[in-house]
Amino acid sequence: MNNADEEGIRLQKVLSQAGIASRRAAEDLISRGKVKVNGERAHLGQRVDTSKDIIHVSGKRVVTDVDKVYFAINKPRGIISTMEDDEGRPSLAGIAKGIDQRVFHVGRLDTDSEGLLLLTNDGELANRIMHPSHGLPKVYRAQVAGIMDRATWNKLLKGVELEDGLAKADKLKIIDEHAGQSLIEITIHEGRKHIVRRLMDEVGHHVSRLVRTEMGPVKLRNLKPGTIRRLTPNEVGELFREVGL
């Protein structure tokens, strides 16, 4: 046994505490070569330093720092995307008041928009998510005026020139059409201000309601407006993989 194995915490215990698997199941993962520590295949009996060792299970990063927290929040309409507001307007802090750690929001939604935001105290992950080079896809449901024709559909997928450059949808889906309005699902990977509303206005389909339902691997699911939930270890691992951590 080398010095690295004489110190630290047993790897299977770390994986268990991180919610990845029971200790016995963790031992099986290690035996089958599914676990890597600092890029090297792990072995049974190995000990790790959770403050500096980087662990992957089946290619997904495992967060071992117990001080790091990751939450999804469903922002209601009328709430501003800040943790506090000098003017006393309703903010995210009122929804996140049950979180002990000091967290910040990842991404923004305008006051009239609703849906998924992430809250964390992990600055490195937050910076990666927000950096344009990673292009984390975001999915929105938008209630828009009018019935969209095929020419408009193709234009949105090809690209629309806005005042600050070309913007386009990565994917489009019609959910419903009724009474001269359409409910669409639009996937877009960039985060320019009001990008979905501006894109739809440019093609003549004004957005009356906008809800973000997904950010990368994280989905809103059945999270009620004005509530939060802790991300699962799998969601956090997928986020890390999406941004190259």
Q: Write out the catalytic residue numbers.
A: 110
| Cα 33 to Cα 30, 39, 50, 57, 83, distances in angstroms | 5, 12, 20, 9, 42
What's the rounded Cα separation, in Å, for the pair 225 and 228?
9
The rounded distance, in Å, linking the Cα atoms of 243 and 133 is 9
For the chain, the first-to-last Cα distance in angstroms comes to: 29
Helix H or strand E encompassing 156: helix 150-158
Answer yes or no: are the C-beta atoms of 233 and 20 closer than 8 Å: yes
Structural tokens at position 227: 């509530």
